[in-house]
Each structure stands twice: as C-alpha cells, then as structure tokens.
C-alpha cells in the first residue's frame, strides 16, 4: 500500500481564492512528521510547512496552513489568497520515526499540479 | 545562513559513460546529507544518505554510488550510465528533522 497518497493530479484555482490540496498517509508508527514541499518549474523543492504527529495544533506558515486530521490520517495543505506565483507542483511527504533521525527517509506522494488562474 | 549547491545544473551523457554529480553545503557543519532522484512527473525516491565523512547508506540497489570525502561535500557517481538513470537528481541536507533541497541536476542519458 502507498504510504502517501495525493489523489488530485491537477487543480485549478482562481487568483485570490483559497485552495485545499489533499494528502492521506498510512503508518503504524506513533511518531511521524508530515511535510509539504512546492516544486516550481525550475525544479527546486521548497519546504513549506511541517506537522508533527504529537503536535496539538495545526501548523501555519503565512498563507499556508495544514489541516491535520490524525484519526483520518489526512494532512491537507490549505493555501489562502492564491497568487499567480503559487502555480507549481506540490508534494506531501512523511517521515516515520523519531524527530531528527538521519536514517528516517522522507516518503513522497505523487504530487498535485496547482494552476492559478488570473 | 545555510545554502546548498549542486552542479552541474544540466547534463547530457551517452549510455555507458561515467557520472559525477556534486553537492556542497555552506553555513553548517556535520550535516546529514541525502541524494534523491525524481523521474519525470513523479515524486522523489531516496538513493543515499550520509551522517558523516565516509559514512554512506544506500536505500536502493543500483549502478549508482555515493561518497562523502569532506564534511560538507556529497558526490553521486556511476561507472556506466544506463538509460534508466535519466532523471532529476536532488541533494538535501537535514536541519532539526526538516530536509532542505538544492537546485537539482537534470540528467539525460542518450
């Protein structure tokens, strides 16, 4: 079974509107972390936001927030007030195991291509 | 602040030729370093990681190898490239559990 599933291959959003990108995960480890990365056409992977499995509150970073529903094993990314520069691929990733352990690799989903319409 | 560099940015190589991709990190010491590969339109696959000089762990058996000759230098190599080695190669370093990526190298094997 896939550990990270992103069911939306592509999405459109109108500029200045909010958009939610879906991510579900599968793990039996009680300690894990969830990450979202943005990959523009240049190729660089840009870290956006992190949520730890023991964090009580949903993570927020500027216009990005993570809707973490632990029981449903979902970690959706919400982008508020979309901008043209938000057009990119977005990847959800998970680290299983203790925080800052070098051997705990990131497992990535297949990504969602977001296109912001002017 | 920390920065991560990769070169070359793009590379076109014939099948059977050798490969050497370099990654360096500035502004930190003894970082955990990672090599990932991304096939077209796909997510990232971890290839190697290193926790220190000379220490390499491989996640996927293949014709690639990695070395860490200096604290902040991580090299990805191959003696003979295959067509299937084409892809986008990303180096990353880890800080407080979060991995930060370099600009990547786009490799095309013909």
Give a three-class secondary structure readout of chain B: CCEEEEECCEEEECCCCCEEEEEEEECCCCCEEEEEEECCCCCEEEEEEEEECCEEEECCCCCEEEEEEECCEEEEEECCCCHHHCEEEEEEEEECCEEEECCCEEEEEC
What is the distance between the alpha carbons of residues A21 and A79, in angstroms, rounded to a whole number? 8
Q: What is the CA radius of gyration of chain A?
A: 14
CB B106 within 8 A of CB A43: yes
Q: A99 vs B97: CB contact, 8 Å cut-off? A: yes
Q: Which residues of A touch B94 (CB under 8 A)?
A: 100, 102
Percent of chain A topping pLDDT 90:
86
Chain B closest-CA separation from residue A98 CA (Å): 9
At A62 the pLDDT is 97
Distance between CA B64 and CA B26 in Å, rounded? 25
pLDDT tens digits for range B53-84: 999 988 876 789 999 999 999 999 999 999 99
> Regarding predicted confidence, which is higher, A89 or A102?
A89
With 70 as the cut, is the pLDDT of residue A102 above it?
no
CB contact under 8 A, B94 and A102: yes
CB pair distance less than 8 Å for A50 and B106: no
CB neighbours of residue A58 within 10 Å: 15
Tens of pLDDT along A54-96?
Answer: 999 999 999 999 999 999 999 999 999 999 999 999 999 999 8
Give the mutation candidate from B7, B95, B98 for the A interface (greatest A CB count, under 10 A). Answer: B98
Q: What is the pLDDT of residue B95?
A: 83
Residue A46: count of CB within 10 angstroms of its CB: 14
**Rg over CA atoms, chain B:** 13
B10 has a pLDDT exceeding 90: yes
pLDDT band at B29 (very low <50, low <70, confident <90, very high): confident
Measure the CA angle with vertex B24, ends B63 and B60; round to 5°.
25
Residues in chain A whose beta carbon is closer than 8 A to a beta carbon of chain B?
A: 4, 33, 35, 37, 42-47, 50, 91, 93, 95, 99-103, 105-106, 108-111
Q: What is the pLDDT of residue A52?
A: 93
CA distance B12 to chain A (A): 17
Q: Report pLDDT for A100.
A: 63
CA distance B105 to chain A (A): 9
């Amino acid at each position: 079974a896939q550990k990270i599933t992103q069911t939306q291959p592509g999405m459109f959003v109108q500029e200045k509107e909010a958009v939610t990108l879906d991510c579900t995960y599968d793990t039996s480890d009680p300690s894990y972390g969830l990450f979202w990365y943005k990959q523009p056409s240049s190729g660089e992977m840009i870290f956006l936001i992190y949520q730890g499995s023991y964090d009580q509150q949903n993570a927020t970073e500027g216009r990005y927030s993570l809707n973490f529903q632990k029981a449903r094993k979902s970690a959706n990314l919400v982008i508020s007030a979309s901008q043209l520069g938000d057009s990119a691929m977005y990847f959800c990733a998970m680290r299983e195991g203790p925080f800052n352990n070098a051997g705990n690799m990131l497992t990535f989903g297949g990504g969602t291509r977001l296109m912001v319409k002017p | 602040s920390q920065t991560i560099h990769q070169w070359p940015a793009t590379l076109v190589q014939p099948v059977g030729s050798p490969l050497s991709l370099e990654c360096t990190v500035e502004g930190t010491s003894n970082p955990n370093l990672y090599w990932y590969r991304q096939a077209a339109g796909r997510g990232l696959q971890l290839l190697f990681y290193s926790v220190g000089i000379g220490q390499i762990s491989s996640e996927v058996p293949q014709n690639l190898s990695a070395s860490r000759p200096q604290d902040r230098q991580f090299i990805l190599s191959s003696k003979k490239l295959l067509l299937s080695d084409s892809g986008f190669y990303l180096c990353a370093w880890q800080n407080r559990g979060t991995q930060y990526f370099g600009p990547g190298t786009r490799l095309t094997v013909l």
